[in-house]
Amino acid sequence: MSSLSYGYNVRSERLRVMGLHELLAFLLLIAVVCWMIFPRDLSSTLRNARLDAVTFSYMQAWLKAKPNDDELRLLMARELIMLGRFQEAENQLVLIAGHGHFHDGDVGWLRLLKDFHRLMALPPRDRVGTMLEYETVERLNAVDWGALTRPQREEYADMALALNQSEMAAMAYSRIAVQSDTPAQWHEQAAAVHLAHGNYQAAATSYLRAMDARGDYDVRKAYFLSALDVLVAGSLHAQALALAERRERSFIADKEVVYRLMLLAQAGGDMARAQRYAVILLNLPGVEASR
């Protein structure tokens, strides 16, 4: 039964205001809000969320309810390390180790990370010769390379470099290159580390590896000349000439390279080879005899 009030039908107006489409939209809105407030897998959501103060608070609340969620606890421990809250991070790692869920490698890695960041938090003059520095380097040496993820391997190399473990860092960059889609850049980083520490032969080897990893002629040429340059910089003329002899075939039609090889032979006292390069240079197209 309906009634009339002020000229319209009350029952029909009510039905029109809360029609089927409006009701469905309202229920959908409730469902979305509930999904946002009560996610089906909060742990997974937190692991994939951007870590900020709110997310961190949710982590703490979740771990109180689910203390055996070691994956999330590992993430929380790492975040605590990044925040410089080292003791709290260690407390989390102790809990994880106590659960016996086969996270020894993850715990060991985070303890290395914790010690490294503790060390880096000190003024540079206060780091050298400390027990913390010694323990951090020892932890770094004990790392199982095969168990590391790609990002961890990059972190490992960077930590080794920061700890003045140049050979360890260069080797890490070279090992990363083996499984990288861009190996040349990692070999180049290894070369830079070797060169910075005066290891000219190793730097040249890394430049050659970078050269062999690239197909572009100009890039290969640049790496080849860099390898020669570092050997000359280290007064390793005999090694530079030997390298030139082994690899010259790929560049023997390049005027710039042949000219550099001629100068290299002259500097190394190998006049017969210098003359040979001069003859090749004169016979290359576009090269003037006066050069």
pLDDT 10s digits, 216-255 = 999 999 999 999 999 999 999 999 999 999 999 999 999 9
pLDDT 10s digits, 44-68 = 555 555 555 666 676 777 777 777 8
Distance between CA 95 and CA 282 in Å, rounded?
75
145-234 classified as CATH 2.102.10.10:
no
The reported pLDDT for the residue numbered 98 is 76
Q: What is the mean pLDDT of residues 97-121?
A: 86
The reported pLDDT for the residue numbered 287 is 44
Q: What's the mean per-residue pLDDT of the chain?
A: 83
Distance between CA 1 and CA 111 in Å, rounded?
76
Q: Which residues partner with 9 through β-bridges?
A: 4
Q: What is the mean pLDDT of residues 120-132?
A: 93
Report the top-level CATH class of 40-143.
mainly alpha
Q: What is the mean pLDDT of residues 178-194?
A: 94
Q: HSE (CB half, 13 Å, CA atoms) of 147?
A: 11
The reported pLDDT for the residue numbered 40 is 46
The reported pLDDT for the residue numbered 33 is 54
**Residue 67 burial (CB < 10 Å; 0-12/13-18/19+)?**
exposed
Q: Which residue has the higher pLDDT, 172 or 18?
A: 172
Q: Which of 107-111, 266-270, 284-288 has the lowest mean pLDDT?
A: 284-288
pLDDT 10s digits, 127-153 = 999 999 999 999 999 999 999 999 999
